[in-house]
Every structure is written in C-alpha cells, then in structure tokens.
Amino acid sequence: MGFLGSAYLWVKAAHIIFVVFWMAGLFMLPRFFAYHQEADRDSPENAIWIDRERKLISIILNPSMVAVWAFGLALLISSGAAVEHWFQMKFLLVLVLSGYHGWLSAYAKRLVRGERRVSNKAMRMLNEVPGIAVVIIVFLVVVKPF
C-alpha cells in the first residue's frame, strides 16, 4: 500500500468515482455536439447548446479528469504498478482518453465560432471511443492478463 497506507482504499474509491464522472461526461459531450450541430447557427437553441457544453466541460469533465489523474498517480506511486505490462497498457489508454477529452474541448470552441467540421454520424461514432477504452481498461485492471 506504500505511502498511502490505510488511505489507499479511500484513494482507490475516489479514483473510481471520478472515472465514472469523467466517462459520463465523455459519453455525453459528443451526443451534445451531434444535437447542437442540428440547430441553426443563429438560433436561440444554438446558444443553449453552447451553454450546456460549456457547463459539462467546466463543471464535470475537466474537474473529473484532474481528479482521475491526481488519485491515479497517487495510487501508481503507492503501488509501484508502473513496471506491470497491464498497467502500461492501461496508462496508454488513459493518455488516449485524455487526448480525446482535449479534442472534444477544442471542438466545443469550434462550435462556439460556428465551425462544424465533423458530421453528426461521425460524432455519434466517436461517442463509442470512451466505451471501448473502458471495456479494455476494466479487463486489464481486473484480469491483469500480462
């Protein structure tokens, strides 16, 4: 349990809780974008979607990702799992999800400017990225296949 001692399980629980919040936001935001892009650029509905997306990013997504990283790094340092191959694969997937989060945040800014570069169909397909990553991560963490 390393330097966390008896707090290890509390930190682990917090890590999992914030992963759930982060994933919920990553599932919601591309769907918001798909609906947003259906609204006329000069409509009141467009402004409502911009506000919803901003709140989702600033109130749920960004704080959750920061908490996931903070608690996860504390667990990593305390457990020494960095040498494990299953962990290295998990870490790579978390980096991918973090990059995906950044891309979604940047796309929200493009939508504010009226740019709509990704089709609704593609946006709905992108909605599957966090789900696939979570399935793989859970198997890696629970089964530790290598």
Q: Exposed, middle or buried, 126 (CB in 10 Å: 0-12/13-18/19+)?
A: buried
Angle between helices 85-112 and 44-55 (to 10 degrees): 150
Do the annotations mark residue 15 as ligand-binding? Answer: yes
Residue 69 burial (CB count, 10 A)? 15
Residue 22 burial (CB count, 10 A)? 26
Do the annotations mark residue 36 as ligand-binding? Answer: no
Q: Which residues are annotated as a binding site for heme?
A: 15, 90
List, as residue ranges, the binding site: 15, 90
